[in-house]
Amino acid sequence: MTPNKKIQQIQKSTSRLLQLADVNEPPIPVERMARLLGAQLRYVPFEGELSGLLSQEQGRIIIGVNELHPKTRQRFTIAHELGHLQLHHSSELHIDHHYRILLRSERSSQAIDPEEIEANMFAAELLMPQAMLEKDIGEQAIDYEDDEMIRTLAHRYKVSLQAMIFRLTNLKFITL
């Protein structure tokens, strides 16, 4: 599948989820969305670099989330695992080790693991939908030095500042 077709698939999938949950504005209730898809959330104090996991056994879907991580990372982890669930339809255990937001794990930050990259694209689109950001930002691009605007958006969408900067940059909403 070409990168543009994959992006379109991700946008379509996240749009369906937003419609299913009747969500029209941020912050996106990612925990409620996971439950709507039949997933049970388990918050566990994982040791080491483990961010989260997705397990599907005998019709049960479990998303494990590292409760030691900040709430913004937990939200991203849930959205990331929902990405695996929606895009990759795997029935095996999937474990995600510590990753930098939008740069995934060490492997996926090197573009070695396309499924990790796709799951992070899904998480970014789900938590910070392009259409909602466009509505919030309006016609003007954001200056990369406008810390206040970027912090305001991160707070509104309940994501980390780093995640918001990456998202705005990837969408070319930030000007240099």
How many domains is the chain partitioned into structurally? 1
Please tell me the distance from the alpha carbon of residue 55 to that of residue 95, in angstroms, as a whole number. Answer: 8
- Domain carrying residue 115: 3-129
Q: Is residue 60 one of the residues assigned to a domain?
A: yes
* Cβ-based neighbour number of residue 75 at 10 Å: 25
User: Pick from 10, 11, 35, 8: which is nearest to 21 by CA?
Assistant: 35
Q: Is residue 29 one of the residues assigned to a domain?
A: yes
* Cβ-based neighbour number of residue 156 at 10 Å: 16
Tens digits of residue pLDDT in 115-132? 899 999 999 999 999 999
Please tell me the distance from the alpha carbon of residue 116 to that of residue 108, in angstroms, as a whole number. Answer: 6
Using the CB atoms, write b or e for 126-140: b if 16+ within 10 Å. bbbbbebbeebbeee
Q: Is residue 49 one of the residues assigned to a domain?
A: yes
| pTM for the full predicted model | 0.87
Percent of the chain with pLDDT over 90: 68
Element of type H or E holding 48: none
Tens digits of residue pLDDT in 19-49? 999 999 999 999 999 999 999 999 999 988 8
Q: What CATH number corresponds to the domain at position 36? A: 1.10.10
Tens digits of residue pLDDT in 84-116? 999 987 555 556 655 433 323 344 334 568 889
Element of type H or E holding 45: none
Element of type H or E holding 41: strand 39-44
